[in-house]
């Protein structure tokens, strides 16, 4: 998690691809597991941004529960974009099932069969808007990542 100059906006720690737009505003950051964010008070964040993280954490349910806990009621917004397990009947789902046993070893703990949209939906946010889409995949080896979601939630 990173903290902005204003002290009110935090974004997830991560690789540079999706973080640079926040860099100008960052003054400090905290490294740790998102399953356990006890250093942050309840209802203390205006926004939590989570991109391609729920595929990699040990316990997605615990992470979303913590995100919900730290978000400010009504005004706080959880923004997310994640690759997910494809729908039943989608060919990508078969590829994901085949690749899953080896994928986390090859790609730093990333899992292909996560139902992250359902995890977020079932966390009990008052507002929860989730859109499924297909990621543009430039290389065949990355095809299992094709199925994705983005959305917002607030409590």
Interacting residues with ligand SAM (CB under 6 A): 12, 14-15, 17-18, 33-35, 51-53, 56-58, 110
DSSP assignment string, 23-68: HTTEEEE--S-TT--TTS-TT-BSEEEEES-TTTSS-HHHHHHHHH
Closer of 12 and 117 to ligand SAM (Cβ) = 12
Closer of 95 and 110 to ligand SAM (Cβ) = 110
C-alpha–C-alpha distance, residues 113 and 84, integer Å: 6
| Minimum CB distance to ligand SAM, residue 61 (Å) | 12
| Minimum CB distance to ligand SAM, residue 33 (Å) | 4
Closer of 58 and 91 to ligand SAM (Cβ) = 58
Closer of 11 and 153 to ligand SAM (Cβ) = 11
| Minimum CB distance to ligand SAM, residue 89 (Å) | 26
Beta strands at 2-4 and 9-11: parallel, antiparallel or unpaired: antiparallel
Closer of 51 and 92 to ligand SAM (Cβ) = 51
CA distances from 41 to 65, 72, 103, 129 (A): 13, 10, 35, 25
| Minimum CB distance to ligand SAM, residue 11 (Å) | 9
Residue 76: left if φ>0, alpha if ψ -120 to 50, beta else—which one? beta
The half-sphere exposure of 75 on its side-chain side, counting CA atoms within 13 A, is 7
| Minimum CB distance to ligand SAM, residue 4 (Å) | 16
């Amino acid at each position: 998690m990173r903290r902005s100059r204003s002290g009110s906006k935090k974004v997830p720690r991560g690789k540079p691809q999706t973080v640079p737009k926040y860099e100008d505003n960052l003054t400090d950051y905290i490294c740790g597991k998102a399953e356990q964010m006890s250093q942050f008070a309840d209802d203390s964040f205006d926004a939590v941004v989570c991109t391609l993280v729920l595929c990699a954490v040990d316990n997605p349910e615990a992470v979303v529960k913590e995100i919900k806990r730290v978000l400010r009621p009504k005004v706080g917004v959880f923004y997310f974009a994640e690759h997910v397990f494809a729908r039943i009947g989608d060919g990508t789902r078969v590829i994901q099932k085949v690749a899953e046993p080896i994928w986390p070893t090859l790609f730093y703990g990333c899992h292909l069969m996560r139902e992250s949209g359902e995890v977020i939906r079932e966390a009990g946010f008052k507002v929860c808007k989730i859109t499924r889409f297909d990621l543009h995949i430039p290389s065949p080896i990355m095809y299992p990542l094709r199925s994705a979601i983005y959305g917002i939630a607030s409590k």
